[in-house]
Amino acid sequence: MRLYSGPNNGGKADLLGFAELTIGGAFVIKDIRILLSKEKGKGGVFVSFPSKRGSGGHESEYFDIAHPITVEAYDKARKSIVEAYDKARASAVTA
């Protein structure tokens, strides 16, 4: 797991940082966004897997590039990323 910040996080206050997730030492997913939820009653950190904006009449839509297929895989990835983020944040505060 690797966590990092983008340059000024793109100026977005809800963007907390980015993560890379390596699976089985053989596959990596980069540019996973770590975001602060603005939804009422759902405050907290959530994870957004990489996506790209559509084209050819689909410019308002975003399409996933890489993401977990099952709920279990998503939950495991999300938990790992959020725990790593919380740990990095806690160690930065105590440093």
Per domain, the residue ranges of the chain are 2-94
Structure confidence by residue, pLDDT tens digits, 52-93: 999 988 889 999 999 999 999 999 999 999 999 888 888 877
Whole-angstrom Cα distance, residue 37 to residue 27? Answer: 28
Structure confidence by residue, pLDDT tens digits, 32-63: 999 988 776 666 888 999 999 999 888 899 99
pTM attached to this predicted model: 0.78
Fold of the CATH domain 2-94: Arylsulfatase, C-terminal domain (3.30.1120)
